[in-house]
């Protein structure tokens, strides 16, 4: 009877926890307050030590869209990309502007070329621009006169001294020739004649009125000389020559001065030549 009652008490007594249940309860108690990492994809709580979700296997750190995953170090590539894009856009804009602007190196309009009318209403013909030809003083090496006086030689015509002059032998000078010789062929572009500077000496002697000039193989040219003691320059057709011949064709008569009769000789102070001496030009290096 006692054994039966004891058996019934044993069967009615609450079951005691096993060791396994005890350990499970302890584990649950131990993890109940532990921190968890919620899956960003399915919401499953996960232990913070896990790298992947226990339910969906999604990677737990860093979250793709989480602000924690976009730390300063992770944003640097995006910042550099924005800078590069901005530089490219600005550069392209500057290139477009530079291509559209006209060049400003030389905005000075060119001077219109000189033109000459054709006279028939057609378009004008451009006149070529001629560069100035350099002109030098040319010096003869010799002078020979067909007539000269004893004291006033022909060499005075090329001594560059206006105070000294040449006179012929008293035949009033018509038909007299003056031959100038150069050391080598020269191109004569102009001839200058200088009468006597002193007014009394100038008026009291015969002066050249007409003159014939022969240079090289060109036809002689006649010159008319003014009755003046101011230097007179005559332009010549450029031609190469070694000798120049002046022949007197006519004269102004001498005048009586202060009761003194006029002299019968022809007088001239200087003859100067201008042009180019090809032999004096040094060749370019």
Query: Shortest CA distance to 68 belongs to which of 88, 38, 89?
Result: 38
Q: Tell me what pLDDT residue 113 has.
A: 55
When mean pLDDT is compared across 1-5, 191-195, 228-232, the lowest value belongs to: 1-5
The pLDDT-based confidence of 192 (bands split at 50, 70, 90) is very high
The pLDDT-based confidence of 78 (bands split at 50, 70, 90) is low
Both tokens of 258, joined, read 């202060």
pLDDT of 230 above 80: yes
Contact 204, 229 (CB under 8 A): no
Burial environment of residue 21 by CB neighbours within 10 A (0 to 12, 13 to 18, 19 or more): exposed
User: Which secondary structure element, helix H or strand E, spans residue 97, and what is its range?
Assistant: helix 72-100
What are the structural domains, with CATH classification, of the chain?
35-71 (no CATH), 136-278 (2.60.120.260)
pLDDT of 121 above 80: no
Q: Tell me what pLDDT residue 119 has.
A: 54
Three-state DSSP class for 223?
strand
Q: Tell me what pLDDT residue 18 has.
A: 43
Q: In angstroms, what CA-CA distances link 7 with 10, 11, 14, 242? A: 5, 6, 13, 168
The pLDDT-based confidence of 231 (bands split at 50, 70, 90) is very high
Cβ-Cβ contacts under 8 Å for 248 (sequence gap 6 or more)? 173, 174, 175, 176, 177, 208, 210, 211, 266
Query: Shortest CA distance to 252 belongs to which of 212, 202, 213, 214?
Result: 202
When mean pLDDT is compared across 3-12, 78-87, 161-170, 192-201, the lowest value belongs to: 3-12
The pLDDT-based confidence of 20 (bands split at 50, 70, 90) is very low
Burial environment of residue 13 by CB neighbours within 10 A (0 to 12, 13 to 18, 19 or more): exposed
β-bridge pairing 166-167 and 232-252: unpaired
Rounded Cα distance between 127 and 137, Å, is 30
Q: In angstroms, what CA-CA distances link 36 with 23, 47, 57, 71, 196? A: 21, 5, 16, 21, 131
pLDDT in tens, 31-56: 456 778 888 788 889 888 888 888 88
What average pLDDT is seen over the chain?
A: 77
pLDDT in tens, 161-180: 999 999 998 888 899 999 99
Range list of β-strands (E), 43-174: 45-47, 115-116, 125-126, 136-138, 142-145, 166-167
Q: Tell me what pLDDT residue 135 has.
A: 85
């Amino acid at each position: 009877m006692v054994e039966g009652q004891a058996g019934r008490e044993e069967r009615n007594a609450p079951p005691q926890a096993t060791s396994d249940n005890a350990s499970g309860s302890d584990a649950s108690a131990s993890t109940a307050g532990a921190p968890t990492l919620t899956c960003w994809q399915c919401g499953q709580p996960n232990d913070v030590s896990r790298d992947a979700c226990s339910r969906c296997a999604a990677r737990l750190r860093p979250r793709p869209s989480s602000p924690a995953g976009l730390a300063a170090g992770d944003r640097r590539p995006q910042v550099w990309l924005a800078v590069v894009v901005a530089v490219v856009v600005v550069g392209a804009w500057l290139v477009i502007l530079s291509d559209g602007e006209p060049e400003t190196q030389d905005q000075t309009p060119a001077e219109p070329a000189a033109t000459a009318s054709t006279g028939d209403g057609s378009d004008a013909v451009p006149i070529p621009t001629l560069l100035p030809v350099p002109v030098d003083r040319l010096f003869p090496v010799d002078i020979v006169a067909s007539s000269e006086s004893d004291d006033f030689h022909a060499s005075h015509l090329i001594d560059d001294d206006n105070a000294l002059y040449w006179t012929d032998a008293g035949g009033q000078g018509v038909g007299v020739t003056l031959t100038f010789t150069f050391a080598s062929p020269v191109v004569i572009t102009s001839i200058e004649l200088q009468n006597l500077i002193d007014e009394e000496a100038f008026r009291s002697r015969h002066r050249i009125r007409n003159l014939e000039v022969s240079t090289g193989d060109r036809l002689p040219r006649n010159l008319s000389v003014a009755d003046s003691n101011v230097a007179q320059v005559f332009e010549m057709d450029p031609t190469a020559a070694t000798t120049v011949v002046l022949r007197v064709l006519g004269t102004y008569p001498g005048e009586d001065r202060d009761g003194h009769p006029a002299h019968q000789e022809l007088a001239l102070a200087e003859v100067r030549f201008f042009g180019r001496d090809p032999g004096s030009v040094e060749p370019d290096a």
